[in-house]
Amino acid sequence: KLKVVTLGGGSSYTPELLDGFIKRHKELPVTEYWLVDVEAGKEKLESVGGLIQRMVKKAGINMTVHLTTQRRDALKDADFVTTQIRVGQLDARIQDEKIPLKYGVLGQETTGPGGFMKAQRTIPVLLDVCKDMEELCPDAWLINFTNPAGIVTEAIEKHSAIKSLGICSGANSMMMDVAKTYNVDRKSISARIMGLNHLIFADQIMLDGKDISADFFARLAEGTGNHTLKNVPDLGLPREFVKALNFYPLSYLKYFWLNREMVEKEIEEMNQGGTRGERSKAIEKQLFELYNDPALCEKPKALESRGGAWYSDTACSIISAIYNNKKEIHVVNTLNNGTTRDLPDASVIETNAVIDKQGAHPITYGPLPARVRGLIQSVKAFEELTVEAAVTGNYHTALLALASHPLVPSVIIAEKILNDYLAANRDFLPQF
Ligand code: G6P
């Protein structure tokens, strides 16, 4: 028996995940797959659940699919629990984006104040999930994709006994862009990656074991091979800056390096087709129309227009590496524990790690390069305060968290954003 439970199973991303389990069914024979969602997500759960059942049938694999709103029934004796919940659904994300933009501050799902707010709604729920797991499946692995994935994983590491890893599609999508540049298979590419979730960079890139860093970084400066995600505006960095950087950044770093331009772009986009959350809501609506078609039996191509396209490759290969004790290298969110001396040991970082049955063994990195050290350290301090605020519900800690974020330009604005956020999220903040 291999029982996998997905919390937030009604998400439009679920077919992506199942596609990964189907592809790997030989090495990772999931026999029971439980999709769990809350009452408010029941309609989506049934719609996506129908597609999941058709996909399993078409694949002809031995897997039973269960749909439920009773989380505890699902968690009993689970082996792996994956989380992709969105407390308050996309409407809450849209508010997270719009409130800071009112004050000329970045309005984004995870970077900046939006990540703070999403963490406040999410952490209490996931810590409750961990309590249930401690009772019902204490040996299970929690594989968290819920954003902000790094912050949420840090909260779980600090406040529960459950074994957990945080994962993100970002590093894999960077490697896919390298593979595309050289017209090779994604499997030929590996890289040394370091940073925090949505704040990573690769300073060494390998193609079939050969170091191609210098060539690839030169191509980046020429404007090819640039990393892009569907959900991040594609503004180019100045050529001399890219040359000076001499590493390969995840596109989210542009929110810091091109802060003013990105905010202007977001405001322009908001006034045209809506914020990214509003546009994701429209894509989601189309996806559910497809899912409701009984003729559809596979992951639809349209899912690639979401920022998290291909995340199942990351999720399922990491689950398989644990299950099969593979000792493979993957990029995960896990405790620093000395991987870099420039961050506290108890910080969750995103890094290369050897994955086996015991979990993640991060590969020593050493000191962070000065060109990103300050940025990473200050975002980490913000994350630490964000976790503390989410757990304690202390207003002052929350204010310090927002005020310490490098993209919040003044404490007066931090206070305004916080007050608006707390008022708009009253239904989701039991801790405040
Ligand atoms: C990227 C990030 C994910 C994020 C997603 C948003 O893939 O790595 O953490 O959830 O984009 O995509 P969306 O389509 O919802 O804007």
DSSP symbols for 310-360: THHHHHHHHHHHHHTT--EEEEEEEE-TTS-TTS-TTSEEEEEEEEETTEE
Mean pLDDT, range 12-28, rounded to an integer: 96
Give 77 Cα–ligand 1 centroid separation in angstroms: 30
Residue 244 has a pLDDT of: 96
How many alpha carbons fall within 13 Å on the CB side of residue 164? 32
What span, in angstroms and rounded, lies between the C-alpha atoms of 38 and 8? 8
pLDDT of 226 over the 80 cut: no
pLDDT at residue 163, as a whole number: 98
Cβ of 308 less than 6 Å from ligand 1? yes
Can you tell me which atom of ligand 1 is nearest the CA of 276? 16
Residue 66 has pLDDT above 90, yes or no: yes
Residue nearest to atom 10 of ligand 1 (CA): 308
CA-closest residue to ligand 1 atom 1: 307
- List active site positions: 252
Say whether 309 sits in a helix, a strand or coil: coil
CB atoms within 10 A of CB 410: 11
CA distances from 282 to 169, 226, 263, 288, 404 (A): 21, 27, 22, 10, 34
CA 251, CA 226: separation in Å to the nearest integer? 8
Q: What is the pLDDT of residue 389?
A: 98
Band (27; pLDDT cuts 50, 70, 90)? very high
276 lines ligand 1 (CB under 6 A): yes
What does the pLDDT average to over 302-321? Answer: 90
pLDDT in the model for residue 48: 97
Taking CA atoms only, the protein residue closest to ligand 1 atom 6 is: 307
Kind and range of the H or E run holding 82 = strand 80-83
What is the mean predicted confidence (pLDDT) over 46-71? 97
Pocket probe mutation, ligand 1, options 145, 198, 229, max atoms within 8 Å of Cβ: 229
Residues 373 and 355: their CA atoms lie apart, in Å, by: 26
The per-residue pLDDT for range 78-114, each reduced to its tens digit, is 999 999 999 999 999 999 999 999 999 999 999 999 9
What contacts 24+ positions apart, CB below 8 Å, involve 245-248?
245/217, 245/371, 246/203, 246/217, 247/201, 247/202, 247/203, 247/217, 247/369, 248/174, 248/178, 248/191, 248/201, 248/202, 248/203, 248/205, 248/216, 248/217, 248/220
User: How high is the mean pLDDT of the chain?
Assistant: 96
**Does the C-beta of 168 come closer than 6 Å to ligand 1?**
yes
Please, which pLDDT band fits residue 310 given cuts at 50, 70 and 90?
confident
- The reported pTM is 0.97
Measured by CA distance, the residue closest to atom 7 of ligand 1 is 308
Instruction: Look up residue 298 and give its amino acid.
Output: E
Please tell me the distance between residue 131's alpha carbon and the centre of ligand 1 in angstroms.
27
Given a cut of 90, whether residue 416 has pLDDT beyond it is yes
What spacing in Å lies between the alpha carbon of 210 and ligand 1's midpoint? 31
Q: Is 100 in the pocket of ligand 1 (CB under 6 A)?
A: no
Position 308 scores a pLDDT of 79
**Residue 227 confidence (pLDDT) above 90:** no
Question: What is the tens place of the pLDDT at every residue in 343-401?
Answer: 999 999 999 999 999 999 999 999 999 999 999 999 999 999 999 999 999 999 999 99
Above 80 in pLDDT, residue 225?
no
Q: What percent of the chain has pLDDT over 70?
A: 100
Task: Supply 100's token pair.
Answer: 């800071």
> Are the C-beta atoms of residues 87 and 430 closer than 8 Å to each other?
no
Q: What is the pLDDT of residues 179-222, one digit of tens each?
A: 999 999 999 999 999 999 999 999 999 999 999 999 999 999 99
| Model pLDDT, residue 341 | 97
CA of 230 to the centre of ligand 1 (A): 8
Contacts of 215 (CB under 8 A, 6+ apart): none
- Tell whether ipTM is more than 0.90: yes
Q: 231, 284, 313, 333: which to mutate for ligand 1, most atoms within 8 A of CB?
A: 231
What whole-number distance in Å separates Cα of residue 174 and Cα of residue 409?
30
| 306 alpha carbon – ligand 1 mean position (Å) | 7
- In the chain, what is the straight-line distance between the N-terminal and C-terminal CA atoms, in Å? 41
The pLDDT score that the predictor gives to residue 71 is 98
